[in-house]
Structure 1
Amino acid sequence: MKKPKIKITVVDKIGKGHCHRGHKIGDTFDFDTERGNLCPMAMHVLFPMIDILRYGGLLPGEEDEKSGVFCCPDVKVINVFKIERV
């Protein structure tokens, strides 16, 4: 069985600071080919949720079975990432 693609998009930002990794709203990443370009702190949060989506699970608290929204743990600038099974 082929694993589905996972798309990661920065959809919002909370806080006045700038992302130390340079991420901006609208940035999009392919998990399989570009995950090395993502902030390691964000990947630490996103990876378990990506794993759930990739293997057919449903994300807790999400109505859409193919996506979810999660925050970066950096309190100075909280990037909001949407992950999608495509």
Structure 2
Amino acid sequence: MSRPQIKITLIDRKGPHGCHRGHKIGDSYDFDTERGQLCPMAMHVAFPYVDILRYGGTIPGNEPGTAMFCCPDVDTINVFRIEVVQPEQDKN
């Protein structure tokens, strides 16, 4: 069994300043191939959620296969959504 794909998307910003790393609402990252593009502070917070979702766990208060988290920068407070990407079903 292979590990599912994980997508991390910036969905909102609550802080008074823009992201110091330049992330904007709507930016998405594939955890396995693009995680180096994500702010290290946000990645530090995201990793435990990714690990839980990737191996079949759920986050209380979130839909199955998803997690929401904020970056720890109080000036920015970017809100991210992590989701397990379901593989496309073979249509043959």
1:60 Cα deviation after fit: 2.6
Count of residue correspondences:
85
1:68 Cα deviation after fit: 1.4
Give the equivalent residue in structure 1 for 2:77: 78
| Secondary structure of residue in 2 paired with 1:26 | coil
Give the equivalent residue in structure 1 for 2:46: 46
CA RMSD in angstroms, aligned pairs only: 0.7
| Secondary structure of residue in 1 paired with 2:36 | helix
* Percent of matched pairs sharing the same residue: 66
Larger Rg computed on CA atoms: 2
* 1:28-67 alignment, distance < 5 Å: 28-62=28-62, 64-67=63-66
| Secondary structure of residue in 2 paired with 1:22 | coil
Give the equivalent residue in structure 2 for 1:11: 11
Structure 1 stretches lacking a partner, 5+ long: none
